[in-house]
Amino acid sequence: MLIGPRGIFSSSRPLEFHQGKASAIDVSESVISRLRAAGCVFAEDEAALLVEAATTPEQLEALVVRRVAGEPLEVIVGWAEFCGLRIVVEPGVFVPRYRTQFLVQLALGLASPDSVVVDLCCGTGAMAAAVHAALPTADVFAADLDPAEVRCARRNLAPARVFEGDLYDALPTGLRGRVDILMVNAPYVPTDEIRMMPTEARDHEALVALDGGSDGLDIQRRVAADAPEWLASGGHLLIETSVRQSPATRAAFEAAGLVTSVEHSDDYDSTVVIGRKS
């Protein structure tokens, strides 16, 4: 596997078209050149995925045109690899990030086979799907405010396990006080910094999935404040944040009465704040 900034690319392999005159090697080299010229850092790996996704030279050309125009690779091929799973990705949704796999690893280290697990601000439901795959007997739920994200998540999870609504308002009341693991990748980009994001995110993902308010922590504070009401005794809240924002994220956890720690992974370039309800 080859790791890119937004996800994991499959290993390159040639694909032969059964119709058409160009050889797979010629096609791949042409695609690589065009992607590289468009600024794609992982041009070889992206070309392999586009060639794999196409069944005819004409379809490949259409896919390449979309990618050169800046459309996210994951939307073009229809999936993103996350924790070894192919997660369905639809246009306009938040693409699962490679770094978020660190949060899943931490959550799995705290969970048990019979844990109640909630993926809040779930996007595609990637984190919930990864936990379900690793702990199939766990009671896993997901929720998001954006109808497009909910629709997509219901393709990656049992539809009845995915709820639509604003944070905890989306969850069944029967989960109150029963959640053992609460995983949250809420938007944490400060409003004024949205314009500096890569065009793939800025122009192709919903603003509601990116904008965290003036300091990026508006949603995180809301999640932390109400978490004790939903967590079981000894339950954990895990939120992805940045190194720069982690002290403020941690302060929000502590203000809610949670016993708090900060974990960082250089391998994933990821920071997660963990709070435990005592």
Q: Is the CB of residue 154 less than 8 Å from the CB of residue 162?
A: yes
Residue 198 binned pLDDT confidence (cut-offs 50, 70, 90): confident
Task: Single out the residue of 170, 144, 141 nearest to residue 157, CA to CA.
Answer: 141
Task: Single out the residue of 120, 128, 116, 174 nearest to residue 144, CA to CA.
Answer: 120
Rounded (10°) CA dihedral 122, 222, 164, 88: -10
Which amino acid, 235? G
Distance CA(43)–CA(183), nearest Å, equals 33
Q: Is the CB of residue 202 less than 8 Å from the CB of residue 208?
A: no
Distance CA(1)–CA(12), nearest Å, equals 9
Beta bridge partners of 141: 118
- Average pLDDT value for residue range 228-248: 98
Indicate the domain borders of the chain.
Answer: 2-77, 94-276
Residue 26 binned pLDDT confidence (cut-offs 50, 70, 90): low
- Residue 58: other Cβ atoms inside 10 A: 12
Task: Single out the residue of 92, 158, 91 nearest to residue 125, CA to CA.
Answer: 158
Q: Is the CB of residue 115 less than 8 Å from the CB of residue 141?
A: no
DSSP 89-103: --TBSPPPPGGGHHH
Instruction: Burial-class residue 84 by CB neighbours within 10 Å (0-12, 13-18, 19+).
Output: exposed
- Average pLDDT value for residue range 42-61: 91
Tokens 């280290």, located at residue: 109
Which amino acid, 115? S
Contacts (Cβ under 8 Å, ≥6 apart) of 29: none
Q: Check if CATH label 3.40.50.150 holds for domain 94-276.
A: yes
Asked whether residue 3 carries a pLDDT value surpassing 70, the answer given is no
Strands (E), 67-161: 79-82, 85-88, 116-120, 139-144
How far from the centroid of its chain's Cα atoms is residue 128's Cα? 10
Tokens 């508006």, located at residue: 218
Average pLDDT of the residues of the chain: 90
Asked whether residue 12 carries a pLDDT value surpassing 80, the answer given is no
Residue 21 binned pLDDT confidence (cut-offs 50, 70, 90): very low
pTM summary value:
0.88
